[in-house]
Structure 1
Amino acid sequence: MSMPLGGVQVGSYDSYEQAQAAVDYLSDEKFAVENVTIIGTDLRMVETVTGRMTMGRALAAGAAAGAWWGLFVGLLLGIFAPDGSNWIGSVVTGLLIGVAFGAAFGGMGYAATRGKRDFTSTSKITASRYDIMCHPAHAEQAREMLARFSLRS
């Protein structure tokens, strides 16, 4: 007889936060949580559009990312500078070169899309239900503990 992925179902919740709180409760009650799995079912990707992408925004985002890399490289090179004035010069030079290259690559990346994606967005994967699964040998104990958890909530 084969066991379903993750074991047998001992609880089901509408949100990941609820499932996480239930497993946290099991852990607090000294249950062997290494026998537990949280499985999200009916997955969907949710993409939230955050704004319009323009050449100016692409240049600014590229310049900001490049500035961080340039600052990092400038600081690394500055470590090997023989005196303080060269250290500051290395950092500033790295920062400026990073801004220039970042802006250039940001603009080229935006131009390469040719207007097919003129917006910015964030995405996340969500599930419609989160099942707590447990190894069959510990399932009954987990069910009893989760029943007490649901009464407590």
Structure 2
Amino acid sequence: MTIPDTPGGDSLGLNAGIVPGATVPVATYPDYASAQRAVDFLSDNQFPVERTAIVGTDLRLVEKVLGRVTIARAALNGAAGGAWFGLFIGLLFGIFSDGGWLGVLLFGLLIGALWGAVFGAIAHAMTGGRRDFSSASTLTAGQYAVTVDAEVADQARQALTRLV
């Protein structure tokens, strides 16, 4: 934890001086859990936490590659999405049918899965192999600053010095 001692300025570029309604950082932490713990500590000590924020800085995007996507896998993924849509449409039609709602529901599910597979395969084939993998992206911060309204910054700094 780092607690800036300058009342108006900061090294994060979050505030250039004490301006009514402005926020200033009172502490920085290497991870979100520590910043959250600091705000919880302020709350436990009757600090007006509605005047605080946790600000992540030094942001970076991390994309984890999950696996290869083939036309067959794209078709399977399309079938799964289409099946859910077909199930929904089948449910709507089934509600308003005179009888055999289960048959209508299953027919909607099968038709949705079939068309989803077709469109999934076609969509993947049209990419020409430019994106033959699936991935998941996360946004992470290098550090987290606890900021408060400038009027209560000294009170927050004093409270956080007691945080062990």
Which TM class, normalised by the smaller chain length?
A: 0.7 to 0.9
Higher helix share: 1
Matched, 1:102 2:102: no
Q: Could you list the per-position Cα deviations for residues 31-80 of structure 1 after superposition, in whole angstroms to 9, with x for gaps in the alignment?
A: 22221111111111000011111111101111111111111121122111
The TM-score normalised by the length of structure 1 is 0.87
Counterpart secondary structure, 2:79: helix
Counterpart secondary structure, 2:140: strand
Which runs of 5 or more structure 1 residues have no equivalent in the other structure? Answer: none
Match of residue 3 from structure 2: none
The TM-score normalised by the length of structure 2 is 0.81
Relative contact order: is structure 1 or structure 2 higher (C-alpha 8 Å, sep ≥ 6)? Answer: 1
Contact 1:46 1:126 in 2 (8 A): yes
Percent identity, aligned pairs only? 49
Counterpart secondary structure, 1:22: helix
Aligned length: 148
Q: Could you list the per-position Cα deviations for residues 98-142 of structure 1 after superposition, in whole angstroms to 9, with x for gaps in the alignment?
A: 101111121122112111111111001111011111001111222
Contact 1:12 1:19 in 2 (8 A): yes
Match of residue 34 from structure 2: 18
Q: 1:143 to 1:103 in 2, by over 3 A?
A: same
How much does 1:6 deviate?
5.9
Which runs of 5 or more structure 2 residues have no equivalent in the other structure? Answer: 1-16
Match of residue 70 from structure 1: 86
Match of residue 27 from structure 1: 43
Contact 2:18 2:150 in 1 (8 A): no
- Structure 2 CA distance for aligned equivalents of residues 28 and 78 of structure 1: 54
Cα RMSD over matched residues?
2.0
Match of residue 125 from structure 2: 111
